[in-house]
């Protein structure tokens, strides 16, 4: 039954025994791995129309699912573009902030140094004032 004799325009396959079998059953992998493992279902001509209708419905559902997935993919692509733009903007802000910090850090260090010097001078002046009070 696994040897094919001819194929008609409906996608059915005629075996050497003369029966018609579903084309997509041939595409199914063998269950036990052997070449003879295909148990192709015999389909009488009256059931073939029903099978073809079912196949058309399945293909229609696959098409609709594909369309839905393509829509979701488009939405995801748009979301990714927005996220990339936001990432670029944040990276620019970080870079600008780093530049600002680089320019402010030396000034801050200078101010800290001046503040420390002024504190030392204030401490010296307080010590002198205390010494002067102690002498007086």
User: Does one domain contain both 4 and 71?
Assistant: no
User: How far is residue 24's CA from residue 115's CA, in Å, rounded to a whole number?
Assistant: 87
107 or 52: whose pLDDT is higher? 107
User: Does one domain contain both 92 and 58?
Assistant: yes
User: Does one domain contain both 99 and 118?
Assistant: yes
User: Does one domain contain both 68 and 131?
Assistant: yes
121-131, pLDDT tens digit by residue? 999 999 999 98
69-116, pLDDT tens digit by residue? 999 999 999 999 999 999 999 999 999 999 999 999 999 999 999 999
Question: What is the domain range of residue 7?
Answer: 1-43
CA distances (Å), origin 16, targets 7, 19, 21, 75, 109? 11, 8, 11, 52, 95
Percentage above 90 pLDDT, the chain: 46
Q: State if pTM tops 0.85.
A: no
User: Does one domain contain both 30 and 57?
Assistant: no
């Amino acid at each position: 039954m696994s040897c094919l004799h001819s194929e008609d325009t409906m996608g059915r396959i005629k075996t050497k025994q003369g029966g018609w079998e579903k084309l997509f059953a041939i595409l199914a992998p063998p269950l036990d791995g052997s070449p003879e493992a295909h148990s192709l279902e015999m389909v009488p001509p009256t059931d073939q129309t029903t099978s073809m209708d079912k196949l058309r419905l399945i293909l229609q559902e696959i098409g609709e699912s594909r369309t839905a997935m393509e829509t979701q993919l488009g939405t995801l692509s748009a979301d990714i573009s927005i996220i990339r733009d936001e990432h670029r903007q944040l990276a620019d802000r970080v870079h600008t902030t780093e530049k600002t910090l680089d320019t402010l850090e030396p000034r801050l260090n200078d101010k800290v140094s001046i503040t420390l010097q002024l504190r030392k001078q204030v401490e010296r002046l307080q010590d002198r004032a205390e010494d002067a009070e102690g002498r007086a």
